[in-house]
Amino acid sequence: MMKRTTIKKILHVLVNILTAALTALGTTSCVNGF
């Protein structure tokens, strides 16, 4: 149980980081585009 919970937490953090990175990249692309 503990290992599954830890993996889920790590996955959740990774998803948050990926989302933030994609958002930052999208914003930068829009700014550079204009």
> pLDDT of 9-22, one tens digit each?
999 999 999 999 88
User: pTM for the full model?
Assistant: 0.62
Mean pLDDT of 2-7: 85
Exposed, middle or buried by CB within 10 Å (0-12, 13-18, 19+), for 30?
Answer: exposed
Token pair belonging to 29:
């692309």
For residue 32, what are the CA distances in angstroms to 8, 24, 29? Answer: 36, 12, 5
> In the prediction, which pLDDT does 32 show?
66
Confidence of residue 28 (pLDDT cuts 50, 70, 90): confident
> In the prediction, which pLDDT does 1 show?
62
For residue 7, what are the CA distances in angstroms to 4, 14, 32? Answer: 5, 10, 37
* Residue whose C-alpha is closest to residue 4's, from 14, 12, 18, 19: 12
27 or 30, greater pLDDT: 27
